[in-house]
Amino acid sequence: MSRPVGGFALVLHSHLPWLPHHGTWPVGEEWLYQAWAHSYLPVVDLLRLLADEGRRDVLTLGVTPVLAAQLDDPYALRGMHDWLGNWNLRAQYAAVRWQNSDARLRDVAAAEYRASAAALTEFEERWLHGFSPVLRPLVDGGVVELIGGPATHPFQPLLDPRVREFALRAGLADTALRIGHRPVGIWAPECGYAPGMETGYAAAGVGRFLVDGPALHGDTAFARTVGDSDVVCFGRDLDVTYRVWSPKAGYPGDPAYRDFHTYDHPSGLKPSRVTGRQVEPQDKKPYEAALAADAVERHARDFVDTVVRRLTDLRALHGRPGLVVAAYDTELYGHWWHEGPAWLEAVLRALPDAGVEVTTLRGAIEAGYVAGRVDLPASSWGSGKDWRVWDGAQVADLVDAGAALQRDLLDLVGTIPAAVGRDAVLDQAAREALLALSSDWAFMVTKDSAADYARRRAKVHGERYAELASLLRAGARDRAWARATELRDEDGLFGNLDARALRTNE
């Protein structure tokens, strides 16, 4: 094979906040099951297909510990099985409802029936024992590089360093228990970074992480060591990444693709195509799979051409092959963008034929796509590329509550004598605190996306923490134990979490 024009690393970030037992529709468990059915199942199926063809280092897959906990949770697994069966029934209902309607609607119902039946079979044959047994062979076989992160996806720059270390180590340890590999790389939640965080990463055994392109002033052609550490950062190449999805445009907005927002409410299916940005839902045209397939082919070709042009320019600029890192939420592929998995397969097959070396972050380092050191500024991948989404005026109350909660948690842990062994009540208090500190709540409030739900979730977990802390301080051990047991039935993720790691007096 001739020398590649350069390297391409696709990074997928799989994440949802903890949802089991916390509401169903429209936000809550429904969110989990939709993403599971329409993104996680088809993306894993594609990875297994490529693995069977002998492909390795296909992409870097980020799975947050809080999502992995849900995908392995018995309650969520039962709920998902029920949801898939219901999807199949809804498709059958739509077929009857539309039997005398436009032939395109009948095609939608038939396609939904086939897709739901296939998903149900796939789930029953491979997923009934959870995600970890499905993911582990892909990691062991080198098909994907698995990267992790802090336990509940908190915005790390706003954490006390001790809480930050606790959340990160807990997340890495949980992934190691599930998959048998402790991740060396992480997707820092929201790509949030504060100067000096690389020191904590190095201490926790993290060797590489993601930042957004502007943190590197757009110079994303190579990985770079951060500060005086050996920790390496990779920057998202926004010129390429935004071809797919940006705050303003991207492939999923093509008129031929399925419209995410337009429902047929009696069946719960989405029978329309985008049609046009200014077209009202009732005026959107029925979905046509053939039109969408043509758009997938066109957009895959455009993306590959964009990557090749970018790498050609980088090689001319630097005198050697460079790297493109394109990073997205996994949920874009299938959930938000119905045709996303098909586009993903087309791109991953076409890039090598175009002379591009498809690799992982680990593979990129091994291939030498590394340059010198860099001092990173405070940054994120949110609006403005700063921290405003998570510490702006709209969420000042959440920020203040989170800071107070952290101070109280550290004080509470410090009051427990060192001689005392592991305490299930204290562990549950720490669990509730971490759930209250999830970055999702501030994001949803700032973006006005189910903001009431987000505020309620932050409040509920904060109050649950405070209740347990109060009982512990009062010495009401029996009441504290009973209440912690009740709460663990709902918020029982991270069973190996040990709050003693937060102690500051040892």
For residues 228 and 190, give the distance between their C-alpha atoms in angstroms, rounded to a whole number.
23
Name the one residue in this structure whose structure tokens are 């964009």. 306
Name the one residue in this structure whose structure tokens are 């000042």. 396
Catalytic residue among 57, 190, 339, 491: 190
Exposure of 92 in the CB half-sphere (CA atoms within 13 A): 7
Q: Is 152 helix (H, G, I), strand (E, B) or coil?
A: coil
Per the CB < 8 A criterion, the answer to whether 427 and 498 are in contact is yes
Catalytic residue among 107, 239, 297, 329: 329
Burial of 159 (0-12, 13-18, 19+ CB in 10 A): buried
Per the CB < 8 A criterion, the answer to whether 473 and 415 are in contact is yes
- Bridging pattern class, strands 223-226 and 232-235: antiparallel
Q: Is 313 a catalytic residue?
A: no
Sign of the C-alpha dihedral, residues 17, 22, 28, 30? positive
What's the alpha-carbon Rg for the chain, to the nearest Å?
Answer: 23
DSSP structure class, residue 250? B
Q: In 108-190, which ranges are E strands?
A: 144-147, 185-186
For residues 169 and 150, give the distance between their C-alpha atoms in angstroms, rounded to a whole number.
7
Q: Is 329 a catalytic residue?
A: yes
For residues 341 and 348, give the distance between their C-alpha atoms in angstroms, rounded to a whole number.
11
For residues 13 and 191, give the distance between their C-alpha atoms in angstroms, rounded to a whole number.
11
For residues 14 and 146, give the distance between their C-alpha atoms in angstroms, rounded to a whole number.
11
For residues 60 and 123, give the distance between their C-alpha atoms in angstroms, rounded to a whole number.
23
For residues 66 and 436, give the distance between their C-alpha atoms in angstroms, rounded to a whole number.
13
For residues 463 and 438, give the distance between their C-alpha atoms in angstroms, rounded to a whole number.
15
Distance of CA 472 to the CA centre of its chain: 35
Which positions are catalytic?
A: 190, 329
